[in-house]
Structure 1
Amino acid sequence: MNRIIKLLIPCLFIYLSASAQKDKWIVLFNGKDLQGWDTYMGPQLGLNNDPQHVFSVVKDGNENVIRVTGEGWGGLSTKNEFENYHAQLQFKWGTLTWGNKKGKKMDSGFLYHAVGEHGMDAKAWMRSQEFQIEQGNTGDYWGVAGGIQDIPVTKQGENYVYDANGTLNAFSATSATGRHGTKGADAEKPTGEWNTLDLYCFGDTSIHVVNGKVVMVLFHSRQVDNGVESPLKKGKIQLQSEGAEVFYKGIKLQQISAIPAEIKKQAGLK
C-alpha cells in the first residue's frame, strides 16, 4: 500500500500543479487605480493626458470600478502585450451619451491584439481586432485600422451574420463584405445590468463569448500594411471611449495552451 501511495504522490503533484496553472489569473484592473494602463484621448492631448477624466476609478456600491464617461473618443490600453489567452471582463452601461452619439445606442469596445501607434483609427484607437460592445450589438466584430479576420457568415439583408456552418469571408476595410461582422445571437443583459464577456485567443483564432454564450468564432487574425498582409496574434488590450458612459470591472486574463474543450464544443469546433 505504501508503495502505491509513493507512486501516486508525484502524479497528484503534477495534476494539482497543472490545475493551479490553469486557474492562474493575471489581474489587469487592481481595483484601486489605473496602474498598468495608458490613456489616449487624441493627438492634441497625447498619451496619459486626460484633463476631463474620461477614464477614472469610481465607487459602485461597495466596490471600485472603471468609469468611462464617453466624452470624446479615445482608449484605455494595457501597457503589456498578450498572446494565447482567455480574457474576461464585466461591463454595464451608464446613462450619458455625447456628441454624434447623443440619444443613440450606447457604444464602447473591447479591442484586442492592439498594436502600432495610438490614434491609427479615428485618431483614437490602435490597430486591433474589436469585440464590439454596443447596445444590442455586443459580440459583433470590427476590423480596426487594418485588422482582418475571416468569419463564417450568412447574409441576412444588409448584414453578414455569424453562422458556424456559413461561408468563410474576410472582413476588412477593403473586402467586399466590409470590416463589420454581426454576432450570431443576442446574449446581452438589459441596460444597467452587469454583463460578462469572455475572449479566447489562441494562435490566429479568437472566440467572442457574451454572458456564457459563444456568439462568434473568428479565424486567421492578420493585419495589412500597404497591401501586404501579416499575422496579428498578439498585442495590447484597449477599452474604447466612444460617446457613451460605461463601467468596467473584473478585468483579468490567463494564459492558455489550447481553446478549452467546453468552448470548442459550444462553438462547434473540432
Structure 2
Amino acid sequence: MVTRRGTLGIMGAAGIAATPLGRLAAAPGAWRPLFNGRNFDGWTFFQDGIGNTDRDNVAAVEGGILHILGPRYRGPAAAPMGYLATAEAYGEYHLSLEYKWGERRFAPRELWKRDSGILYHVPAGREFLWPDCVEYQIMERSTGDAIPVNHRAIPGVSMGGLPAWPRNFPGQPYAPQIDAGGNLRQMIRAEGSFDTLDGWNTVELIASGDSAAHIVNGRIVNTLYGLQARDAAGAYAPITRGRILLQIECAEIRFRNIRIRSL
C-alpha cells in the first residue's frame, strides 16, 4: 500500500515538488472485494479456441481462493491460454491482490518461467487472446514489468531505481513500440525484482487519470504516464479506464484478496 509519506518520499527523491498532489491527496474510498471468493459473479471467462465456457475446469474457487490450472483441470496437456475479466470497466482506482505459484506447467511452456498477468484498461467488445490493454506482468523475477498492447505509455523517469510518482518530469518521449504480429507493443521493465517464487506476493496497481503505478510487495517498481489507446485507423487518444483481466498462461497460480477502492 502506498502511503502519503511514501509518496512524498519518492517525489522528493525524484526532485518533484510535494504539491499539489491532486486526487491522490484525497482520502481514498473503502476497500471492497472485486472477487467475492464464492463464485464468478461479476466476471467473465475466455479461453482461446474454446470460448466463454470453462469446459475443462480451468478456474476453480477453493476456500475463497481463485485457483487457475490446479488439480481440477481436465483439459489437454497444451492448455489454451485466456483470461478471467471483470464485466464492468473501472477508472480512478487502487487494485490489490495476492498471488502464489503452483507447480503445474503446461505445453508449450513446460520449461518457461511461470507467467500470468493483470491486464487493465481493456475495452469492451469482441473477446480474443491478446486484447488491447496495458499488461502488469506477473512472471517469475519479472513481476511489475509493463507491456502496453496497442496502447502506449511514457515510462516514469528513474532516479537511482526510484520511478517518479505521482508526477513525471515533463517532455519525456513514449517508449519505442515493436510489431508483435498484428499488434504494437512496448516493453517497460520494472525497477528491481521483489517477488518471491515460493510464497504469497502482494501486487498493487494505482490507475490515476492517464497514469499508473505498479507496486510489488510494497515497492513501486514501475510508473507509466500519458497512457493512450490506438484506434483502428492508427490514431492515439488518452485512455483512463477499462476492464480488468487476470491471465491464464500455461502455469498454475492462485489469487486471493482481490480488492479495489476508488481514488
Which band: TM-score by shorter chain? 0.7 to 0.9
Distance 2:51 2:178 in 1: 26
Residue aligning to 1:109: 117
Change (3 A) 1:171 1:201: farther
Distance 1:55 1:232 in 2: 30
Residue 153 (structure 1) shift: 6.2
Distance 1:52 1:185 in 2: 37
Gaps of 5+ in 1: 1-20, 155-160, 257-270
Gaps of 5+ in 2: 1-26, 71-78
Asked if the contact 1:66/1:247 (under 8 Å) is kept, the reply is yes
For residues 161-213 of structure 1, the C-alpha deviation after alignment (integer angstroms, 9 at most, x for no partner) is 985499643254459x9511110111112x23110011001110000000000
Change (3 A) 1:118 1:138: farther
Residue aligning to 1:91: 99
Residue aligning to 2:140: 135
For residues 99-150 of structure 1, the C-alpha deviation after alignment (integer angstroms, 9 at most, x for no partner) is 121121000001111114344xxx4142110110000100001112x12111
Matched, 1:50 2:57: no
Residue aligning to 2:67: 67
Instruction: Specify which of 195, 202, 218 is matched with residue 201 of structure 2.
Output: 195
Residue aligning to 2:214: 208
Q: What is the one-letter code of the residue matched to 1:186?
A: S
TM-score by length of 2: 0.76
Q: Secondary structure at the match of 1:170?
A: coil
Distance 2:189 2:223 in 1: 11
**Larger fraction in strand:** 1
Matched, 1:242 2:249: yes
Instruction: Give the number of aligned pairs.
Output: 219
Larger gyration radius, structure 1 or structure 2: 1
Residue 64 (structure 1) shift: 2.2
Q: Secondary structure at the match of 2:108?
A: helix
For residues 65-109 of structure 1, the C-alpha deviation after alignment (integer angstroms, 9 at most, x for no partner) is 101118321010001111101010100101111112112100000
Distance 1:86 1:163 in 2: 18
Structure number with greater CO (CA < 8 Å, separation at least 6) is 2
Distance 1:51 1:153 in 2: 45
Change (3 A) 1:74 1:239: same
Q: How does 1:2-81 map to 2 (within 5 A)?
A: 22-42=28-48, 44-47=49-52, 49-58=53-62, 63-69=63-69, 71-81=79-89
Asked if the contact 1:74/1:124 (under 8 Å) is kept, the reply is yes
Residue 45 (structure 1) shift: 2.4
Asked if the contact 1:140/1:216 (under 8 Å) is kept, the reply is yes
Matched, 1:221 2:220: no
Change (3 A) 1:75 1:178: closer
TM-score by length of 1: 0.74
Distance 2:118 2:92 in 1: 16
Further displaced range: 68-77 or 30-39: 68-77
